[in-house]
Every structure is written in C-alpha cells, then in structure tokens.
Amino acid sequence: MFEANALASIQRSVVRCRRCPELRSYAARVARERKRAHRECEYWGKPVPSFYDPRARVMIVGLAPGAHGSNRTGRPFTGDASGAFLYPALHRAGFASQPEAIDRHDGLKLHDCIITAAARCAPPKNKPTPQELRNCFPYLLEEFDALPRLRVAVALGSIAFAALSKLLRERGFAFDPGRFAHGAELAAENGRRSIVVIASYHPSRQNTNTGKLTVPMFDAIFSRANAILARDEGAGREPAARGRGSAHPSSRRGRPSSSEKR
Ligand code: SF4
C-alpha cells in the first residue's frame, strides 16, 4: 500500500509541475492547436504521469511524451506509433493486459512493471534540453525509491540509458558503466539491492519502420527481463503478483527524439 500511495503522490506532483516553463507552454500550445487527425480529441496537454503496477519489478524508461501521442492521451506511449509497437510486446511478455493502447480509459492494465520517462512534458522536436532532463530527473529517483521490489530497468534509447546510469550512481550502486547498445546490460549492486539495466533501441517509428528495431529484437529485451525475474523466483525472492491493477491520477477517480531513439 505504501508503494501505491507514494507513487500516486509523485504523479500528482508531476501533473502540477512547472519547472520547465517552455515545455509546459509548448505542450499546452500543441494541445490547443491539435493535429488535423485528432481535431476532435481533447488533448491532455500537461506533464504525463507514469503508468504502473505499484508492485512493479520492471521499470521501462522512455525519453519524453510525443506531442500527439501521450501529450494528447495523458498516458505514456498511448495513441502513437511507438506505443503501437511497445504494448503488443509487453502483452506478449505478460506485462500488459492487452496489446492495444488507445486512450487512458481503454481498460489496459500493467502487470509487474512501470512505464516512466526521462522527461514528462512533450518537447519540441522530441528533444528535451539537458537542463530540462535535469529538472525532471528527481521524479525518476523518487519513483525508484518508491519501488522496493524493482529488479530490472529497461532503457528505451540512449538518453533513458544515461538517466538510469545517473540514477544508479546517485543511489550508490557500483557497476561497470558500459555503452549504450541494443541488448547491452548493466549489473548494479549497492549492498542492499541489485538492479539490471537492459538497453534497447527506442520503438520510434523511425527505428521500427527502417528495421533498426524489429519485433524479435524487442521481444528479446522483455524475454531477458522475464528470465531475470524467473531466476530471482528460483532463488526464493518474492515474486510480484501479475494481474494487479495499474494507476493513473485521473483514472483513479479514475521528443523520443529523432536522434535519441536509437
Ligand atoms: S519536463 Fe518534468 S520537470 Fe519539466 S515541467 Fe515537465 S514534469 Fe516538470
């Protein structure tokens, strides 16, 4: 229960956040102007909270909301091409209740994972500045601290990989830094916890349309995450119950950049 309360409190702070005035005003302007294809939609147009199972053992870190994807729908990777590649993979791997992610009221639930980001407001050209990434980093740290069962982190792209490396350093983990490459891993320990970071190309349209990231390549990332969790269960660590609910601040009433998405 503690994790659920802590995570919900973080997401409420995220939605109210104004640390990056330019990003807030860009996200709001996109929401006002809208894309022709989504003219009938009411855009979210604010910082996008994470989507999660509070007992998550796997953290998936993207870069930032897409202007007409999660900035429109209010849920990470929902309503755009990246999500149409990510959620089917999560469903095949048992982390999502369904492959479709249409809007935040579509009934989709996550099991044993959280989807978060290095920056939580849609940036122009899908590219947050270094200062904007620094502004948003404390939320990632808070989420990490609120997830004591966390065991695996999947970095979608090199900026997410850098954010996770920074997080592990800040929390006193020892690890060989390594370089970003699809399928590369960091094994980190700090005496109390051990975390494995798995690097993946971002499921952006430009990576998936060009074949840089294929379905088998992406499935292999989540198979590896499952193998690490299964090994822990074999070693007697507590498994999380798959099938638990997910949360979104509103539903509880209810730029991956072109260059970064490698
Ligand atoms: S990007 Fe992060 S730090 Fe900046 S305004 Fe949005 S939520 Fe706040």
Percent of the chain with pLDDT over 90: 83
Range with the poorest average pLDDT among 26-30, 126-130, 244-248? 244-248
Percent of the chain with pLDDT over 70: 89
* Antiparallel, parallel or unpaired: β 58-62 and 152-156: parallel
Say which amino acid occupies 198: I
More confident residue, 242 or 4: 4
Asked whether residue 247 is assigned to any structural domain, the reply reads no
For residue 24, the ligand 1 atom closest to its alpha carbon is: 5
The reported pLDDT for the residue numbered 245 is 41
Alpha-carbon dihedral 246, 112, 60, 32, rounded to 10 degrees: -10
State the residue range of the domain holding 199: 2-234
Closest to 79 measured CA to CA, from 139, 122, 25, 24: 122
CA of 136 to the centre of ligand 1 (A): 5
Asked whether residue 58 is assigned to any structural domain, the reply reads yes
The answer for residues whose C-beta is within 8 angstroms of residue 113's C-beta and 6 or more apart is: 52, 53, 56, 57, 58, 59, 60, 90, 95
The reported pLDDT for the residue numbered 166 is 98
Asked whether residue 108 is assigned to any structural domain, the reply reads yes
Provide the domain count of the chain. 1
Asked whether residue 242 is assigned to any structural domain, the reply reads no
Average pLDDT for 234-249? 55
CA of 138 to the centre of ligand 1 (A): 10
The answer, yes or no, to whether residue 247 has pLDDT greater than 70, is no
More confident residue, 248 or 221: 221
Asked whether residue 15 is assigned to any structural domain, the reply reads yes
- pLDDT tens for 81-128 read 999 999 999 999 999 999 999 999 999 999 999 999 999 999 999 999
β-bridge mates for residue 30, sequence order: none
- pLDDT tens for 160-180 read 999 999 999 999 999 998 899
- Give the helix ranges, DSSP H, for the chain: 2-16, 21-33, 70-73, 81-92, 130-145, 158-170, 205-209, 215-234
Average pLDDT for 42-49? 96
Asked whether residue 255 is assigned to any structural domain, the reply reads no
The answer, yes or no, to whether residue 14 has pLDDT greater than 70, is yes
Mean pLDDT of the chain: 91
- pLDDT tens for 212-239 read 999 999 999 999 999 999 998 887 666 6
Structure tokens at 91: 């469903």
For residue 138, the ligand 1 atom closest to its alpha carbon is: 3
The answer for residues whose C-beta is within 8 angstroms of residue 90's C-beta and 6 or more apart is: 60, 96, 110, 113, 222
CA of 204 to the centre of ligand 1 (A): 21
Q: What is the CATH number of the domain that holds 8?
A: 3.40.470.10
The answer, yes or no, to whether residue 256 has pLDDT greater than 80, is no
| Contact residues of ligand 1, CB 6 A cut-off | 14, 17-20, 23-24, 47, 119-121, 132, 135-136
Q: Residue 38 — pLDDT band, cuts 50, 70, 90?
A: confident
Q: Residue 244 — pLDDT band, cuts 50, 70, 90?
A: very low
Question: What is the pTM (predicted TM-score) of this model?
Answer: 0.91
Task: List the residue whose alpha carbon is closest to atom 2 of ligand 1.
Answer: 136
CA of 14 to the centre of ligand 1 (A): 7
Asked whether residue 228 is assigned to any structural domain, the reply reads yes
Asked whether residue 84 is assigned to any structural domain, the reply reads yes
Average pLDDT for 231-255? 55
